[in-house]
Amino acid sequence: MIGKCLFPVAGYGTRFLPATKSMPKEMLPVVNKPLVQYGVEEAIEAGMTNCALVTGRGKRAIADHFDISYELEHQIAGSSKEAYLGGIREVIERGVFTMVRQREMLGLGHAILTGEPLIGDQPFGVVLSDDLCLNRGGSGVLAQMAALYEEFQCSIVAVQEVPMDEVHQYGVVAGTAERAGLTRVTQMVEKPPQDEAPSNLAVIGRYILTPDIFDIIRSTPPGRNGEVQLTDALQTQASEGRVLAYQFEGLRFDCGSVPGFVEATQHVFEHYYGQE
Ligand code: UTP
């Protein structure tokens, strides 16, 4: 079973400035819960109780969120307000949180490599918490992927079909059908122009990675934007037939963008708020 999940949360979140000037993007609340907590809950549900956070400067609020707040908890102990802390207390009790700092924001590949000491030599999940994934009444996306890993024992990326005029915002995959909703990847391209995209299957922020990815990232030269791209490293595994793309069950909201964040907020308010 996969027990560890990596959370790269070191990015600047420039699309949310000025909100993210002194506050981590991952702490933006969708209704009343920060984005990163949704991701952590999804990982814990998938059995990945060991949560490794790759943080950066200005991200201390994330570490504090997954710790006890003595003064606050003492103040509201025994009052009706205590109920509001129920969810996060459960997360803190079930999870183990470790942290490492990414000193320079050199891209997602680099962030993942920075997390290597927290992961070691075992397969692991990756959650980009600015992609909010919800599957009401069913298993979370990461749990679906963990089950697939048990079957195939290789790296898995979550994908969804996007309109062709949006492919340039994503890593895009192509390959051969393994079965319905599952593609054995042969090609992965990071943010291709529309006319160069091999398909409209876009990678979203959920991965299961085998630990050889660390060595591959180390030997992968910087790609688009001068950043070490995870997509380029995954292409190496894909060329050996060791990457599956999974069209998951559930909804995904791009909370790294303002429209996606607003959409997620409306959805969570309508379908989840007050119903837990
Ligand atoms: P994004 O591209 O959404 O990053 O990275 P960003 O820099 O936070 O956002 P914008 O584009 O400036 O608004 C996807 C995920 O990878 C993490 C981010 O924190 C985010 O969760 N990341 C990215 C790192 O941890 N380190 C990096 O060097 C880059």
- Site to substitute for ligand 1 among 6, 20, 25, most atoms within 8 A of C-beta: 25
Given a contact cutoff of 8 angstroms between Cβ atoms, the answer to whether 261 and 253 are in contact is: yes
Q: Do the domain assignments include residue 25?
A: yes
pLDDT tens digits for range 127-146:
999 999 999 889 999 999 99
Q: What is the mean pLDDT of the chain?
A: 94
Q: Report which of 26, 239, 101 is spatially closest to residue 231, judged by C-alpha positions.
A: 239
* Minimum CA distance residue for ligand 1 atom 1: 11
pLDDT tens digits for range 57-107:
888 999 999 998 888 888 888 888 888 888 898 999 999 999 999 999 888
* Minimum CA distance residue for ligand 1 atom 4: 11
Q: Do the domain assignments include residue 188?
A: yes
Q: What is the pLDDT of residue 258?
A: 95
Report the atom number in ligand 1 closest to the C-alpha of 56.
Answer: 25
Q: Do the domain assignments include residue 189?
A: yes
> What spatial distance separates the first Cα and last Cα of the chain, rounded to whole Å?
28
pLDDT tens digits for range 39-54:
999 999 999 999 999 9
CA of 71 to the centre of ligand 1 (A): 32
In the 3-class helix/strand/coil scheme, how is 190-223 assigned residue by residue?
Answer: ECCCHHHCCCCEEEEEEEEECCCHHHHHHCCCCC
CATH of the domain at 242: 3.90.550.10
Q: What is the pLDDT of residue 35?
A: 97
- How many domains in the chain? 1
Given a contact cutoff of 8 angstroms between Cβ atoms, the answer to whether 161 and 200 are in contact is: yes
Q: Do the domain assignments include residue 276?
A: no
User: For ligand 1, which residues put their CB under 6 angstroms from it?
Assistant: 8-15, 25, 54, 102, 105-108, 110-111, 128, 130, 256
Residue-number span of the structural domain to which 246 is assigned: 4-271
Determine the Cα–Cα distance for residues 249 and 133; give it in Å rounded to an integer: 10
Report the atom number in ligand 1 closest to the C-alpha of 106.
Answer: 28
Residue 119 phi, psi (nearest 5): -100, -50
